Amino acid sequence: MKENLIVILLIVAILLSVVSIAVTFVSLNLKQVPDVTISQGKLDDSSQGKVSIIINTPSGGSG
């Protein structure tokens, strides 16, 4: 009789533990936690351009 009670109590303990694990997983999986990346603002920037010229020596006379 006592052995039966122990077996029942152990089964109940195991079931409660399973319920506890299930509650945890179900609760977490129901929530969609967004993967948010917060970037710092950029406060300055620069951009460059290039001027180029090929200057040949005048072939004629100059003024």
Partner 1 sequence: MKSNGFLMVLAVVAVVVALANVSFTSMKMAEVNQKITGFASSSETGKVNITIATSVSINMSRSNITWGNGTIDVGQQNSTLYTSQENAAVVRGNWQTTNAKAFILDNVGNVNCSLILSGGKSAYAFIGGTNPQYQWNVTNKDDGSCAGGGALLSTWYDVNSSAKFCTQFGIVANSLYIDILLTVPNDANKTGEQTDTITASASTAG
Residues numbered 11-40 forming contacts with partner 1, rule: CB under 8 A: 12-14, 16-17, 19-20, 23-24, 27-28, 30-34, 38-40
- Going from the C-alpha of 41 to that of each of 38, 44, 45, the distances in angstroms are 9, 9, 11
Instruction: State how far the Cα of 55 lies from the Cα of 48, in Å rounded to an integer.
Output: 23
| Residue 51 in the binding site for partner 1 (CB under 8 A) | yes
User: Minimum distance from CB of 4 to partner 1 (Å)?
Assistant: 11
Q: How far apart are CA 12 and CA 6, in angstroms?
A: 10
The contact set with partner 1 (CB under 8 A) reads 2-3, 5-6, 9-10, 12-14, 16-17, 19-20, 23-24, 27-28, 30-34, 38-63
